[in-house]
Amino acid sequence: MPKDQNKIDDLINNQPLGFENALYLLRLNHKMKRSAWNDIKYIAMQKPDEKSKMRRGYIYAVFQDGQPVPYNLQNADIFSNDWVKTE
């Protein structure tokens, strides 16, 4: 996947986003959330390395208590246009 800095800057500066653009940023290690969420701080992508027990990447959510858990996207998440980048 080419890392086009102009595209990245454009996406970050023109939020909220649809999920397809949020996924693009997730793949580049950015943290994302839906503006409608109150209980989830953000989601991020875990990419395995040589020390990982998991062999495939996955998306996880970090809740307000700071605990990460694997996250299964819902249809509402995929079709929403309220995704924003978080710190």
| Overall number of domains in the chain | 1
Task: Please give the share of the chain, as a percent, with pLDDT higher than 90.
Answer: 66
d(CA 67, CA 65): 6
d(CA 58, CA 35): 21
Q: What is the mean pLDDT of residues 24-36?
A: 94
> How far is C-alpha 85 from the geometric centre of its chain's CA atoms?
8
d(CA 20, CA 77): 11
Examine residue 16 and say whether the peptide bond preceding it is cis (omega within 30 degrees of 0): yes
Helix axes 5-13, 19-27, angle to 10 degrees: 130
Structure confidence at residue 65 (pLDDT): 92
Model pTM score: 0.82
Domain housing 70:
5-86
Instruction: With cut-offs at 50, 70 and 90, classify the pLDDT of residue 3.
Output: low
Q: Is the model more confident about 54 or about 58?
A: 58
pLDDT of 37 > 70? The answer is yes
